[in-house]
Chains A and B, each alone.
Chain A
Amino acid sequence: MMADMLEVNNLSIAFGGLQAVSAFNLNIKKGQLYGLIGPNGAGKTTVFNLLTGVYKPTEGLIKLDGENLIGKNTLEINKAGIARTFQNIRLFQEMSVLDNVKAGLHNHYKYSSLSGILRLPSYHKTEKIMDEKAVEILKVFDLDGEKNYMAGNLPYGKQRKLEIARALATKPKLLLLDEPAAGMNPNETLELMDTIRFVKEHFNMTILLIEHDMKLVGGICEALTVLNFGRILAEGKTDVVLNDSAVVTAYLGE
């Protein structure tokens, strides 16, 4: 059997007296589409922030392809291969759609600042490649027509897509999506499900997503972990977990 791509062991964090996440375990295989669900305030986004180094855990282990990620900052974790989107969209609003994706390509196509200022051949060559790569990624999300628009002026659904495109541009091993369908209408959600499936196939991507939309979760996630009050309530195959009585109680009340 193949080793897990992401291994999280006994991950815990406390903010003062509040135990936000405790004894959290998670194992994701390469190519898996994994869902993290739970009621509001269960600690889902906190888990994402722990995985991406925004918070330092009080204890626990995080390994990506066997590489220890504890103690690394957001920057190093992105270089190690984890990219994310945010619950409240965080685009580079005053930059063009194309430049947002090119910012994501930052660490993969380089030239020195000096050759940028002096417009040396390496500038022209690298920028051309970056343009092509960025448009390639934008095409996946059907955003190439809007590449010169200011990111902040895109409609909401497209902003969500652009955020995913930007995250993919960093060529991650693992993509974290924080409520990708939040604020979308049913049609947009259906379209987003297709896009996520396509991303998984096309880029052979491993995806961990947080979502409240049960139609989306049930429709595309292969396995789930349910969080409640910072603890794991249930985990396993999607259809089994969604029919678990404890999960139903947590979501709908007694």
Chain B
Amino acid sequence: MKKNSSGNMAVKKDNLITYGIVVLFYIVMQIMTVTGSVSSLLSGLLVPLCVYVIAAVSLNLVIGISGELSLGHAGFMCVGAYSSAFFSNLMGDTMPSPVRFILAILIGALAAALFGIIIGIPVMRLNGDYLAIVTLAFGEIIKNLMNILYIGKDSHGLHFATGDASALAMEEGGKVIVNGALGITGTPKDSSFTIGVVLILITLLIVLNLVHSRSGRAIMSVRDNRIAAESVGINSTKYRLMAFTVSASLAGVAGVLYAHNLSTLTVKKFDYNTSIMILVYVVLGGIGNIRGSMIAAVILTALPEMLRGLSDYRMLIYAIVLIIMMLFNWAPAAVNVRERLKDRLKARFKALCGRRKKGKEA
């Protein structure tokens, strides 16, 4: 019989390892930055890495823990990015940048959560793959909506229009904040690698603690067997909605981080491909495996950029890495080999420690 590692101590240890990996990654990157061994390419990648890690971890909450399929995660990132960038531009220099950024993060998270609830309430009453279809549509709708949305500000307040900027009918000196397909320009560059890592840690804290709590148990019981969950008095609609909304709001945070890393924000980045890319991180990292999706996000975001020098062969190698990761994670033979290697390493490590102890005693 296979033992489950859900003993209390084992869970705690496992979570600590996850946090530890993030902190270690941060320290290594900082040391490399200080010693000047980080290329400009890599340093430009650090914030996007954090963005995709947060997105992947949050999507894993829906797919792995709640057992639903969401194909519109980029849509929630888009909502978070646009709402927060709009806020930051509107406020400008009227408040100190740390306060503005914290508020922007909260606004992005809340806006995305709101959309999560709006979509979730009707869909979560249904069984089956409706969520996948509706979220897919949501991602496209949001993208197209943002493409035609114009918002400007003058002394009379805010003006909204669809179509083109002249329809805003603003007085002289009015400022166009959201400029249709051109997006939002001039967003303050508040994001940094340090803030990204802090946000990753907060995301992990929320997701891991939620999973190992009363609500997390309810979410997973609905995933495993909805009828049985209701028969023991668990409200399946409520807990599916909770998982989906938390996930949407964290994706919104990823969007905030993304928007405040670039001076120009357009919707092009939040299309179907991005949603699928995040899904690939989750599937390859292991469905329900939070740490795995984190690592997969880092490798698969960094790899195409690192391989830029190989030009034409880049995507070929990317595809091969995808296949290898899939086999390594899921093929029974690979899992066996992995377990055996782990056991052997453990035994060797123990033997080494034992010898050292003996050496000290002698």
Contacts and interface: CB of A to CB of B under 8 A. Distances in A.
Interface stretch (A14-22, A24-32, A95-103): A95-103
Interface in A22-77: 52, 54, 73-75
Given A92-B224, A148-B4, A78 B209 contact: no
Contacts of A170: 232-233
A251 to B, nearest CB: 29
B175 interface: no
Nearest to B7: A148
Interface residues of B, number: 34
B242 interface: yes
A75 B2 contact: no
Contact of B218 (A103, A118, A166): A103
Interface stretch (A109-117, A191-199, A226-234): A109-117
B214 A94 contact: no
A90 interface: yes
The 3 tightest CB contacts between A and B, nearest first, are: A116-B213, A90-B228, A78-B233
A103 B227 contact: no
Contacts of B230: 73-75, 78
A109 B214 CA distance: 9
Interface of B: 1-8, 205-206, 209-210, 213-218, 220-221, 223-225, 227-235, 242, 288
A214 to B, nearest CB: 27
A153 B232 contact: no
24 contacts: A73-B230, A75-B235, A83-B231, A90-B225, A90-B231, A91-B225, A92-B220, A92-B221, A93-B224, A95-B220, A99-B6, A100-B221, A106-B232, A113-B210, A113-B213, A116-B210, A116-B214, A123-B213, A126-B214, A149-B3, A153-B1, A166-B228, A167-B232, A170-B233
How extensive is the interface on chain A, given as a class?
Answer: 35 or more
A110 B213 CA distance: 11
Interface string A140-171: 00000010111001110000000000110110
A125 interface: no
A104 interface: yes
Nearest to B4: A150
A225 B82 CA distance: 65
A190 to B, nearest CB: 24
A126 B3 CA distance: 25
B232 A95 contact: no
Contacts of A107: 233-234
A79 interface: yes
Contacts of A154: 1
Contacts of A131: 8
A113 B229 contact: no
A83 B228 CA distance: 10
A113 B215 contact: yes
B1 A169 contact: no
Pick the most buried of A86, A94, A111: most chain B CB atoms within 10 A of its CB: A94
Given A54-B227, A96-B6, A113 B232 contact: no
B6 A92 contact: no
A92 to B, nearest CB: 4
A78 B214 contact: no
B267 to A, nearest CB: 31
A78 B232 CA distance: 6
Given A90-B228, A100-B221, A166-B228, 18 more contacts: A52-B231, A78-B231, A78-B232, A79-B233, A90-B231, A92-B229, A93-B225, A96-B6, A98-B6, A103-B229, A107-B233, A117-B205, A117-B210, A146-B1, A150-B4, A150-B6, A153-B1, A166-B232
